[in-house]
Structure 1
């Protein structure tokens, strides 16, 4: 760690510019201002002096690129870190309490007298803070109190997984302060999943945390969720002449719990028909062979969703191979196939029975028309509401954004890049 005053001087001298460039912070003047304001926030919030030893840490949001609703069936996914992050200044405080101040939100204080889930903290930041400390302690590391001042560009509800970025950020901080940087990115991701599942109370796969923690584009095979196989895939969209756009459909996730729950439930029903717990354990050939009886037992939508799983699971490996081989046209074709499969087989574009409001379908139709036969677009994340994803040729980007925002609202089209660096200590 470095003294707070020394970090300020290094920032002013441009010594952090290289690190910020690697994190795709864009305009360095704005980046320096952001870090300076972060240091000010830490100092004012916690009464720190210029001699306080601090660390600057960052964890990115993530985007799902391939494998829609495949991870919960122990399938494959392709995901990537993005250039929006949680940035934090952190330091030990010599107490047994973690103080976490996210800019613009109430202070969260978690006493470490218990490292078990607390019922009253469910679905709160405090649960994630306690959960991540518990996971580090479970691995034998002496976690104690520390202070964090964080500023996030990964807005909640953006489909970029702000909760996973927060978990990874805490993991990076604890790894640096208490674990001698011994924890690898996949372990930090697994800690985040446990914190979210057990302490926060939200069932989730491991895709979000892994993409944020590892960085770049990653193909992840969840055949064994306890030991996922992670394959890093190099991708530089700028050099390929494309931009990644995340487009807000304008629809809210509220009141859609049953829609989301029905996807793994119905896929699970197909697996259970064959005496298995997830579809990865069932051969696609067996599903097709027993199709008439299976339809009677579980219903047609469940069967179609299972067929989507098998197709999208295979596509992930094909997409990763296409990127590795530099065949971006093949990759884009697979993105479009994934999007069509999600719409037709998985059926996670429009909530059941919705007629008047079909925001995701409209967003996809607008994006497809605006691409004019180039690029690709698909649902992003869980579906039914929220965001879609598009890969847009750079020479078409401004026209694309103008057309999309004229139909869906100003500010609805966010242009992002794949960040090559995952959770990291930016300066220490």
Structure 2
């Protein structure tokens, strides 16, 4: 499925579900994509560098304003059933007052209220970003809701990559961190809001500066294949938090603002100043930042086909140093490479989710078959695979 098809389907699904719930058409529809991170994992909350691109898969928010300060939210499930949350009084929102899936749109409304927007709205959500796959479905939802609530207030965002969108990304991060209670960095929100078609987004998290770097895989006969392992391990949230706290502790011990400030040339000496348990965490973050810079350099030089070894090295670092991979992810990566991928790595927060592989177009079938066979040999349910095309970021659809 391409971006236009996904956008149209999400728009139509959200619009029809809105009609079903409210009996009228929505005033507008906004949508936001999921994302794949090409490279640069767990660097965002260390003030580092990331290199994501937006997926064609999107979450759409059909919306109309209300005259009160109540948020009414419903979502269309993959089974075609509509689930409605209890009405939410925006004026009384506090962290902990809403749980489950409704906490994500409620958290956005809570943050926007602090910026002067407390008018109620009817929202109905629908889309096709795979959930639990490490492709940032929750952030796609939050970004779509942000644009919808702002749009209903007459505040339409300008082009991707602008300071206004970066501001909204930080608001969404606050909703996730302080209301939902998930200690995420800034990568996912920024990707959903700021990516453009046929490019990867080079983001310097510390400065907020972005650059659209050409990433036309088809032009050189290559594709990015996403392998959704369809697994998520129970310790994913606690493990993420532990590693984030570990990197923050390391920065404190080193007397620096963030691990971004450790230069590659100083890495060995720096590691010698740290407790043994923090050494692998720091090594991953510093080397991963350098891998992002190296990949950006190759893309600028038109050498897209040469980035495979950096993807491989990133996976090894996440598997051995950051220890966030799983046997399912490792199996997907190794099977993809054995079947002809030029490089592969897990992507996202880890502990399950998805891997990506850089694959010659002629080898896509071989890679998909090889990974499926490897899973079958282990007795696991087959993974879900698809070709990821760098797509446009969030915006108004109607």
Shorter-chain TM-score above 0.5: yes
Quick one: distance in 1 between partners of 2:328 and 2:282?
25
Quick one: distance in 2 between partners of 1:109 and 1:179?
26
| Contact preservation (8 Å) 2:52, 2:191 | yes
Q: Does 1:176 align with 2:151?
A: yes
| Contact preservation (8 Å) 1:75, 1:280 | yes
**Could you say if the C-alpha distance between residues 53 and 70 of structure 1 is closer, same or farther in structure 2, counting changes exceeding 3 Å?**
closer
Quick one: distance in 2 between partners of 1:115 and 1:327?
54
Quick one: distance in 1 between partners of 2:325 and 2:213?
28
Quick one: distance in 2 between partners of 1:205 and 1:401?
31
| Contact preservation (8 Å) 2:32, 2:144 | yes
**Could you say if the C-alpha distance between residues 115 and 234 of structure 1 is closer, same or farther in structure 2, counting changes exceeding 3 Å?**
farther
Quick one: distance in 2 between partners of 1:331 and 1:179?
43
2:192 aligned to 205, 212, 215, which one? 212
Q: Which residue of 2 aligns with 1:414?
A: 385
What is the total number of aligned residue pairs between the two structures?
Answer: 382
Q: Which residue of 2 aligns with 1:73?
A: 46
| Contact preservation (8 Å) 1:83, 1:418 | yes
| Contact preservation (8 Å) 1:189, 1:209 | yes
Q: Greater CA radius of gyration, 1 or 2?
A: 1
**Could you say if the C-alpha distance between residues 290 and 84 of structure 1 is closer, same or farther in structure 2, counting changes exceeding 3 Å?**
closer
Q: Does 1:146 align with 2:121?
A: yes
Quick one: distance in 1 between partners of 2:95 and 2:206?
31
| Contact preservation (8 Å) 1:305, 1:346 | yes
Q: Which residue of 2 aligns with 1:114?
A: 91
Displacement of 1:329 in angstroms is 2.1
CA RMSD of aligned residues (A): 2.6
Equivalent residue runs for 1:38-49 within 5 Å: 38-48=14-24
Displacement of 1:305 in angstroms is 2.4
Q: Which residue of 1 aligns with 2:206?
A: 223
Displacement of 1:138 in angstroms is 2.8
SS of 1:223's partner is: coil
Unmatched 5+ stretches in structure 2 = 159-163
SS of 2:61's partner is: strand
Q: If the length of structure 1 is used for normalisation, what is the TM-score?
A: 0.81
Displacement of 1:39 in angstroms is 2.6
**Could you say if the C-alpha distance between residues 327 and 130 of structure 1 is closer, same or farther in structure 2, counting changes exceeding 3 Å?**
same
Quick one: distance in 1 between partners of 2:88 and 2:249?
42
Quick one: distance in 1 between partners of 2:122 and 2:390?
27
Q: Does 1:60 align with 2:33?
A: yes
Unmatched 5+ stretches in structure 1 = 1-19, 351-357
Q: If the length of structure 2 is used for normalisation, what is the TM-score?
A: 0.87
Quick one: distance in 1 between partners of 2:13 and 2:248?
48
Quick one: distance in 1 between partners of 2:191 and 2:147?
14
Q: Does 1:268 align with 2:248?
A: yes
